[in-house]
Amino acid sequence: MQRFWKYAPSRQSLLWRGVVGAVCAGAFLLAGSGAMAQGGTVTGTKTVSDTDIPCNGSTNVTVTLQGQTGISGQPADIMLVLDRSGSMQNAMANLKSGASAFVDIIDEGTDSALNGLIANGSRIGVVSFASSATVNQPLTNDAGAVKSAINGLVASGDTNHSAAFQVAQAQLAASQPGNQKILIIFTDGVTTVGGDASDDAAAARAAGTEVYAIGLGSVNGGELHDWATDPDDQHVFIAPSAGQLQAIFQTIGAAIVVPAATNITVVDTVNSHFAVSNAAVTTGTLGQAGNVLTWTIPELNTETVSMSFTATHSAAQPGGPEQVNAAITYTDAEGHIVSFPSPTVNVRGCAATIDVTPPTADNELGTPGQTHTVNGAIADDFGDPVNGVTVDYSILSGPNAGASGSGTTVGGTTPFTYPAAQGLAGLGTDTIQGCFTNGAGVVVCDTAVKNWIDTTPPVVACPPTTNPSGNNVPKAGNNPASGQNPDGFYEVRSSDAVDPNPTITVRDTGSGATFGPFPSGTKLKLTQAPGAQPNQKPGPGVIDWHITTNGDAAITATDASGNTSAPVLCQVAPPPK
């Protein structure tokens, strides 16, 4: 049995079964795929409804196939050349129904709509012949006008095949230059007038016209094979009875139209970061196995068909720019190559990074009650702030190690404030860590460094103190020249916000000699003796030390951080000369 192409609109299915039945009965010779027919085309697109979605949000995805049958992609001018000689009296009804069915196939095949319009630039005309040939309908896209011309034919007269070819080819020669030229001649007899039509058929073929020949009953098969385009088994049809005519015209129509594609399979594997739901197709069947969608279509003509589904991003997956499809493939029986774009969706609002600020800072420990604040900023993959994220803080090391806290982002940030440890133990570097857990369960952290420092010098004082017996504090003399404390008894004192025990040094302003260090509260007897050797020795009674200087005593205090106070003078009058 030959292999046959079938035109697939459902309204034609019964007719097609009639064709197959006739073939099986050996009633006539049928065409194959039509070697000279223009092949169909298929293109594909893939789009998303929303290119920006929130974390755990959705977008609607549409996969579209756009088909063009062979005739819609390459328009054709077709002349139906129909025998209306007297011998057609009994077969005319079958001829009219078969030719009209052919017109319907071309009508629907050019735009997938049986609407009376032969679309996309194709046209059909009708030439009938008996003793002579007549143009019953010039080439037109009005399918109704063509069928009216067919149905108006009346059988009478002889058979002039030569005139039929000449008149029909003249119509095609004057048609659109870019259109395919197809001539379908039907006859039920042998030439009786007008001479041999072989030269006329050869001229038509030489001009680029594809010739189909249909014979009914006792036609001259040799003539039909001589007229038709090679190969003969695809262009010559002989029916023993008029009942097969409709099926023959149907078969030729299918060969001319050529579906865009057949046995189509589209496999769309969606990115595993998305969940697939609401999958549907406008034609064909759809199977789903998780994120793999398999769309099958028996036949595609001049039409646009689609598969749609909802892709919902998983909050357990990263955000940022995400391609919807991991892979999408297309196959069909004709071997068309169809590629699809890979649309990208910007998934926004998935917490991706944390930035703890300030990254480093120096804080003066200073007055008790000092605190420090850091801010944890949570952002998505595009750097935009993310709200509602819990940030856990902890101090990993430093003088305040072990302190912790948490907060939830508002405006993308949440603060952490902690009090500083006081005293010398509060000096040093804290490493502060802020962490959050992203949708995938991964803990993401950032750290900041806080240096607690002491740059404030101590305060030093030199108030008079008691005499060695500890009974009273001598008063300054009435003569200012005698000095602040003519007896030279002082208590040196120092204080500091951080260091509880800053040390005190005494410097002789006359000689530059220094003494100490002394703790705060040390009691001194200071004697100013110009020209004497500066010295230090234990003091009498409650006095800790007796220091002899050439000039006044300038005292300074230094804390554990090395900060030194400005000097304070402990003035003593020199002894009388």
Phi, psi of 88 (to 5 degrees): -85, 5
The DSSP-derived string for 66-95 is: EEE-HHHHS-EEEEEEEE-SGGGTTTHHHH
Tell me phi and psi for residue 565, to 5 degrees: -75, 165
The confidence score (pLDDT) of residue 54 equals: 95
Q: What is the number of residues in the chain?
A: 577
If DSSP states are collapsed to H, E and C, what string results for 163-232?
HHHHHHHHHHHCCCCCCEEEEEEEECCCCCCCCCCHHHHHHHHHCCEEEEEEEECCCCHHHHHHHCCCCH
At residue 474, the pLDDT reads 65
- Four-way CATH pick for 10-30+74-257: 3.40.50.200, 3.40.50.410, 3.40.50.720, 3.90.1300.10: 3.40.50.410
The full set of domain ranges for the chain reads 10-30+74-257, 41-69+261-348, 353-453, 459-570
pLDDT at residue 189 tops 90 = no
At residue 15, what are phi and psi to the nearest 5 degrees?
A: -65, -40
The pLDDT-based confidence of 306 (bands split at 50, 70, 90) is very high
DSSP secondary structure, 112-155, as one string: S--SSB--TT-EEEEEEESSSEEEEEEEESBHHHHHHHHHT---
The whole-number pLDDT of residue 366 equals: 84
Query: Does 487 score more than 70 pLDDT?
Result: yes
- Residue 211's pLDDT is 97
φ, ψ at 501 (rounded to 5°): -135, 65
- What DSSP element (H or E) covers 394? strand 390-397
Distance CA 72, CA 39 (A): 10
- Proportion of the chain above pLDDT 90, given as a percent: 77
pLDDT at 30 over 70: no
Instruction: Spell out the residues 6+ positions from residue 95 whose beta carbon is closer than 8 angstroms to its own.
Output: 82, 83, 88, 153, 186, 242, 245
Is the alpha carbon torsion for 281, 286, 289, 292 positive or negative? negative
Assigned CATH for 41-69+261-348: 2.60.40.680
- Model confidence at 370: pLDDT above 60: yes
Q: Which of 11-20, 419-428, 505-514 has the lowest mean pLDDT?
A: 11-20
CB–CB of 372/361 below 8 Å?
Answer: yes
Residue 302 confidence (pLDDT): 85
Q: What is the mean pLDDT of residues 450-478?
A: 84
Q: What is the pLDDT of residues 78-107, one digit of tens each?
A: 999 999 999 999 999 999 999 999 999 999
Q: Is 480 helix (H, G, I), strand (E, B) or coil?
A: helix
Is a pLDDT exceeding 90 seen at residue 361?
A: yes
pLDDT higher than threshold 60 for residue 29: no
Among 3-17, 53-67, 480-494, name the one with the lowest average pLDDT.
3-17
Report residue 492 as tokens: 């040196």
Residue 315, pLDDT score = 85
* pLDDT reported for residue 408: 98
Q: What is the mean pLDDT of residues 531-548?
A: 94
Please name the helix (run of DSSP H) or strand (run of DSSP E) that holds residue 103, with its range, or none.
helix 92-111
pLDDT score of 10 more than 90: no
pLDDT tens per residue, range 146-166? 999 999 999 999 999 999 999
What pLDDT shows up at residue 576? 56
Query: How far apart (Å, rounded) are the C-alpha atoms in residues 522 and 545?
Result: 8
Q: Reply yes or no on whether the pLDDT at 504 is more than 60.
A: yes
Give the confidence band of 480 by pLDDT, cuts at 50, 70, 90.
Answer: very low
| Sequence-separated (6 or more) residues with CB below 8 Å from residue 186 | 80, 81, 82, 83, 95, 99, 213, 214, 215, 216, 245
The pLDDT of residue 254 is 84
pLDDT of residue 110: 87
Q: Which residues contact 433 (CB under 8 A, 6 or more apart)?
A: 356, 393, 394, 395, 396, 445, 446, 447
* CATH architecture group of domain 353-453: Sandwich (2.60)
pLDDT of residue 461: 95
CA 172 to chain centre: 52
- CB proximity list for 471: less than 8 A, separation 6 or greater: none
Do the domains 10-30+74-257 and 353-453 sit in the same CATH topology, yes or no?
no
In sequence order, what are the residues at sequence separation of 6 or more whose Cβ sits closer than 8 angstroms to the Cβ of residue 261?
40, 42, 67, 297, 299, 300, 332, 333, 334, 336
**pLDDT, mean over the chain:** 89
Q: Global pTM?
A: 0.68
Crossing angle for the helix pair 161-173 and 198-206, nearest 10 degrees? 20
CB 261 within 8 A of CB 332: yes
Token pair of 370 as six digits? 């000092």
Helix (H, G, I), strand (E, B), or coil: what is residue 22? Answer: helix
On whether the CB atoms of residues 27 and 244 are closer than 8 A, the answer is: yes
Q: What is the per-residue pLDDT for 486?
A: 66
Q: pLDDT tens across 374-420, in order?
A: 999 999 999 999 999 999 999 999 999 999 999 999 999 999 999 99
pLDDT tens digits, residue range 236-278? Answer: 999 989 899 999 999 998 888 888 899 999 999 999 999 999 9
Is residue 72's pLDDT more than 80?
A: no
User: Under DSSP, is residue 324 helix (H, G, I), strand (E, B) or coil?
Assistant: coil
pLDDT band at 485 (very low <50, low <70, confident <90, very high): low
CA distances from 363 to 370, 452, 497 (A): 9, 5, 14
Residue 257, pLDDT score: 86
* Stretch 60-72: mean pLDDT: 90
